Amino acid sequence: MQPSRRILIVEDERDIAEMVAYNLERGGHTPTISSDGQQGLQLALAEVPDLLLLDVMLPGLSGLEVCRQLRANPATAQVPILMLTARAEEADELVGLSVGADDYITKPFRMKVLLARVEALLRRAQPMPEDDGSAIVTLGLVSADQHLHAASVQGQPIRLTLTEFKLLVALMQSPKRVLSRADLIAQVMGPGIIVTARTIDVHIASIRKKLGPAGNQIRTHRGVGYQMTAEAEAVQVE
C-alpha cells in the first residue's frame, strides 16, 4: 500500500468536491476541501499539501491566480497541481499550464480517470532513488539534479514545475535524439495518461522561457518533436 498523501481540493462545486474527497479517502489519502480561492491559497501556504486539485472558476480568487501565487512562493513552487476546468474553457486550460499547473482535467470527468491522474502526478513527485549515482545531468549551460528536483542555468537556479522539470530531464538525457511529443508524454506523464500534443508544446514554451540564455538549446523539429543539444541554436544578436 502506498503512503497516505495530503491532498487539498479547492473546488466550489460541493458535489464534485465531496465525491472526489470520498474517493481519495477510499484510496488511502487525506483530503481537505476548500470552496474558495483565497481560503484555498491560505490553506496551501499554511500546510503545504502533497498535491493540489484546483478548480479554475472559483469565488474569491481564480484558480489561475491561486496557481500563480503558489508558484511564486519557494515553499510551494514545486507542489504538484492538477487543475479542473469546465469543458468549454479550452483556453483556460492552456493558460492554466502557462501559470505553472502540472496537469489539467476537464469536467465532467470519470472518477477513475481523475484518480489515475492524481496517482501519476504523486508518483512523478517522488524523488529518484538515491543509488543510481547519476543524479546530476548537465548539458550545455543547463544542470539538473534529480534528487533535489532542482535545475540551474550557468549555476543560477531556475524555478520549474514538476512536469517541466521531468520534461527537461527527459530531453537532457537524450541529446542525440529527437523526442516526439508522444515519447515525451510516455516518459514524463507515465503510461495511460492522455494529454494532447499541444500540452507538451505549452510546457516546452514555458521551459524555454525559464531557461533564458539556454532556451535555444531546445530545438523544435517541425512535425517530429523536440531535441535538446549542448549548444544553443545560433541567435543573430550582437
Site for Ca ion contains 55 (CB under 5 A): yes
**Is 57 one of the binding residues for Ca ion (CB under 5 A)?**
yes
Binding segment toward Ca ion, per CB under 5 A, in 5-13, 101-109, 151-159, 198-206: 5-13
What's the closest the beta carbon of residue 24 comes to Ca ion, in angstroms? 18
* Candidate ranges 4-12, 92-100, 135-143, 202-210; the one touching Ca ion (CB under 5 A): 4-12
Spell out a b/e string for 3-42, using b for 16 or more CB atoms within 10 Å of the CB, else e.
eebebbbbbbbeebbeebbebbeebebebebbbbbebbbe
Q: What phi, psi does 62 have (nearest 5°)?
A: -70, 160
* Nearest residue to 171 (alpha-carbon basis) of 153, 187, 158, 159: 187
Count of residues that bind Ca ion according to CB under 5 A: 3
Residue 205's CB: how many other CB atoms inside 10 A?
15
Determine which residue in the list 5, 12, 64, 200 makes contact with Ca ion, applying CB under 5 A.
12
Q: Which is nearer to Ca ion, 7 or 167 (CB)?
A: 7
Does 103 help bind Ca ion (rule: CB under 5 A)? Answer: no
Q: Closest Cα to residue 82, out of 61, 45, 107?
A: 107
DSSP secondary-structure letter at 11?
-
> Based on CB atoms, which residue is closest to Ca ion, 53 or 172?
53
Contact residues: Ca ion, CB under 5 A: 12, 55, 57
